[in-house]
Amino acid sequence: MPRFRAAHTQVLGVSVDSIHCHANWGVSLGGISFPLLSDFVPKGNMAASYGAYLAAGLLADAGKPLPFIDRVVFSLEKEDIPYWNKFLQGYYDTSGISSDSFDQAINIGAGGEVSLTDSMREQGIELNTAVSTSIFYTGFNMLDPVVGGDSESARKLRLAISIAVDYEEFISIFLNGRGIPAQGVLPPGIFGYVDGRAGINPYVYEYGEHGPRRKSIAVARELLAEAGYPNGIELTCNVGNTDGTWEQDSVAVLKEDAAKAGININMNVMPSAQYWDVWTKAPLSLTSWTHRPLAVMVLGLAYRTGVPWNESSYANPEWDAALTEAESTLDVEKRRVKMEKVEKILQDDAVMVQPFFRSVFTAVRENVVGFEMHPTRYYRFHKVSLA
């Protein structure tokens, strides 16, 4: 409590019981030092406005030992459509939503909001979503004589490419809207992520009335000219489709978008087995990372000077020192501030084409209570029950 008072913060106790229950509860504790609010009539109305009121059915499990269910059965279905149909018929309690079933299951509003179709809701199906912590991006080869290095010319060239690539369009066309453009390497849900205006990449985005907005192609052309290429430039990007055809689709968008700024991307598609022999040789290559619980874990593997998985060959002693300082800081809030510096240096150096995070959509039958999709697709059933 002293820490809250020091931060000029008033603590309030809120429940959906009556004021008489509150009074008795306070007496049973020997008195309490903060006000109690009764969200009794209409019951839970205020808590619901903050998204803090438990949905109907969740309290039915209060007091029961965990886990609530005796067993979980996984069945292997080799094809998406039969699996989806069996889910609709009631054979399965949860199901992912593939591209083939997307239009049947999902509505996307004019503002990008996602909801289930009427036919899904009528069948007692609910939607569970999460932003995946896996990051997908096109990385620059920092040893390449054209796009690499720490010269201001190379940096402006990298920024021009980053601005030109419209991942908003890519997500809309190829992912059915299932994803968000990233402002950096840290996804929502990972410690160190900063939301809102403070978290945008100021080199690639502007912050307007409706949130982040990608800078125009005209800005990309200006940067290209300042980099020394007023008449355009030609580059090569290797593609091995090692993690699915999203790689080739992504480079197709990269090629089309970059051309608008005068940058010609040659797409070098090769068998996946050959890709790993040359993935660090071309100016541009595609990659992905699945984040660990703490940002410092994956950043040390991916970008620290000389580590085996530093595929971009990025080397910046200032960044290495900033990451080491963050890694050695135990205080949570102090480490958060230090992580902001780590993220900013990566943005300053323009190490990658601005990435994106996929969204995970899961359809759940209404009798499944307490199921939440984890950003890293972990299945946690210890608080799940069947109504």
Confidence at residue 54, expressed as pLDDT on a 0 to 100 scale: 60
What is the phi/psi pair of residue 302, to 5°? Answer: -100, -25
Torsion of CA 235, 241, 246, 249, to 10 degrees: 40
Confidence at residue 276, expressed as pLDDT on a 0 to 100 scale: 76
Amino acid at 329: T
The mean per-residue pLDDT over the stretch 210-227 comes to 93
The answer to whether 372 touches 131, Cβ cutoff 8 Å, is no
| Claim: this prediction has a pTM higher than 0.85 | no
The answer to whether 275 touches 303, Cβ cutoff 8 Å, is no
What is the phi/psi pair of residue 278, to 5°? Answer: -130, 10
Q: How confident is the model at residue 232 (pLDDT cuts 50, 70, 90)?
A: very high
The mean per-residue pLDDT over the stretch 306-311 comes to 85
Does position 257 have pLDDT exceeding 70, yes or no?
A: yes
| Tens digits of residue pLDDT in 182-191 | 888 877 777 7
Residue ranges of alpha helices (H) inside 51-117 are 80-88, 99-105
Six-digit token pair at 346?
């990566």
Give the span between the Cα atoms of 56 and 137, in whole angstroms: 41
The answer to whether 292 touches 135, Cβ cutoff 8 Å, is no
Q: For residue 326, what are the contacts with CB-CB under 8 A and spacing of at least 6? A: 296, 335, 338, 339, 341, 342
Reported in sequence order, the residue ranges of 179-313 that DSSP labels E, i.e. its strands, are 179-181, 205-208, 211-214, 233-239, 263-269, 284-290
CA angle 218, 220, 221 (to 5 degrees): 65
The answer to whether 310 touches 139, Cβ cutoff 8 Å, is no
Q: Looking at mean pLDDT, say which of 57-61, 125-129, 147-151, 366-370 comes out highest.
A: 147-151
Give the span between the Cα atoms of 383 and 351, in whole angstroms: 41
Does position 375 have pLDDT exceeding 90, yes or no?
A: no
Give the span between the Cα atoms of 170 and 177, in whole angstroms: 9
Q: Residue 124's Cα: distance from chain center in Å? A: 28
Does position 305 have pLDDT exceeding 80, yes or no?
A: yes
The mean per-residue pLDDT over the stretch 99-103 comes to 82
> pLDDT > 90: what percent of the chain?
21
Confidence at residue 38, expressed as pLDDT on a 0 to 100 scale: 79
DSSP string, 162-175: HHH--HHHHHHHHS
Q: How confident is the model at residue 111 (pLDDT cuts 50, 70, 90)?
A: low
Amino acid at 348: D
Q: For residue 164, what are the contacts with CB-CB under 8 A and spacing of at least 6? A: 217, 220, 257, 258, 260, 261, 263
Confidence at residue 57, expressed as pLDDT on a 0 to 100 scale: 54
The answer to whether 94 touches 371, Cβ cutoff 8 Å, is yes
Confidence at residue 184, expressed as pLDDT on a 0 to 100 scale: 82
Average confidence score pLDDT of the chain: 83
Confidence at residue 156, expressed as pLDDT on a 0 to 100 scale: 96
Q: Looking at mean pLDDT, say which of 165-179, 196-210, 372-386 comes out highest.
A: 196-210
The mean per-residue pLDDT over the stretch 362-386 comes to 82
| Tens digits of residue pLDDT in 113-134 | 778 888 898 898 988 888 887 7
Q: Which helix (H) or strand (E) holds 94?
A: strand 94-96
Confidence at residue 320, expressed as pLDDT on a 0 to 100 scale: 95
Q: How confident is the model at residue 33 (pLDDT cuts 50, 70, 90)?
A: confident
Lowest mean pLDDT among 124-138, 286-300, 351-365: 286-300
The answer to whether 335 touches 329, Cβ cutoff 8 Å, is yes
Q: Which helix (H) or strand (E) holds 63?
A: none
The answer to whether 364 touches 126, Cβ cutoff 8 Å, is yes
Q: How confident is the model at residue 78 (pLDDT cuts 50, 70, 90)?
A: confident
